[in-house]
């Protein structure tokens, strides 16, 4: 499972012009699910994201987590994080999970994140064309992989 985290002052997702998820300060999580991912991968990333110290403390050092600041998550499914563009000009999606595999893992991830952050989690719409809008704070962007490939 892969995630691109962006520390934001605000973020929202629209589907067909309607806002379906919106947060103020927190983290936008673009979440990609591989075909062989399990709940173990989801739990690892939920715990890592909730505890990752990417918010500034009173001294201006990145020393606080989203959990400690009371911030929120906006979780957006992003199968394209598993696009392999090493060969040719068209990415291969071979490593990305099929929707029937990815959807339950995505919902599990969101549910565990809601438990961890006391409900402060919004989402996009799985398998829908979405417009994501954000104001990156810093900017701070972090890449995570449950297999620790980077």
Q: How confident is the model at residue 104 (pLDDT cuts 50, 70, 90)?
A: very high
d(CA 102, CA 112): 15
Could you tell me which of 92, 97, 51, 91 has the C-alpha nearest to residue 77? 97
Is the predicted pLDDT of residue 71 greater than 90, yes or no? yes
Interatomic CA distance for residues 135 and 94, integer angstroms? 32
Q: Are 52 and 33 in contact (CB under 8 A)?
A: no
Q: Which residues are catalytic?
A: 78-80
How does residue 150 score in pLDDT terms, banded at 50, 70 and 90?
confident
Answer whether 146's CB lies under 8 Å from 105's CB.
no
Q: What is the pLDDT of residues 10-42, one digit of tens each?
A: 999 999 999 999 999 999 999 999 999 999 999
Residue 107 in this model has a pLDDT that exceeds 90: yes
Query: Hey, what CATH topology would domain 2-143 get?
Result: 3.50.80
């Amino acid at each position: 499972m892969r995630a691109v985290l962006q520390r934001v002052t605000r973020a929202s997702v629209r589907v067909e012009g309607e806002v379906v998820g919106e947060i103020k300060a927190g983290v936008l999580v673009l979440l990609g699910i591989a075909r062989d991912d399990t709940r173990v991968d989801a739990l690892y990333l939920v715990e890592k994201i909730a505890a990752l110290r990417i918010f500034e403390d009173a001294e201006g050092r990145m020393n606080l987590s989203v959990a400690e600041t009371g911030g929120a998550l906006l979780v957006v499914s992003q199968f394209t994080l598993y696009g392999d563009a090493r060969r040719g000009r068209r990415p291969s999606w071979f490593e990305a999970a099929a929707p029937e595999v990815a959807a339950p893992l995505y919902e599990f991830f969101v549910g565990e994140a809601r438990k961890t952050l006391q409900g402060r989690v919004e989402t996009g719409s799985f398998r829908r064309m979405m417009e994501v809008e954000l104001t990156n704070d810093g900017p701070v962007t972090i890449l995570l992989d449950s297999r620790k490939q980077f």
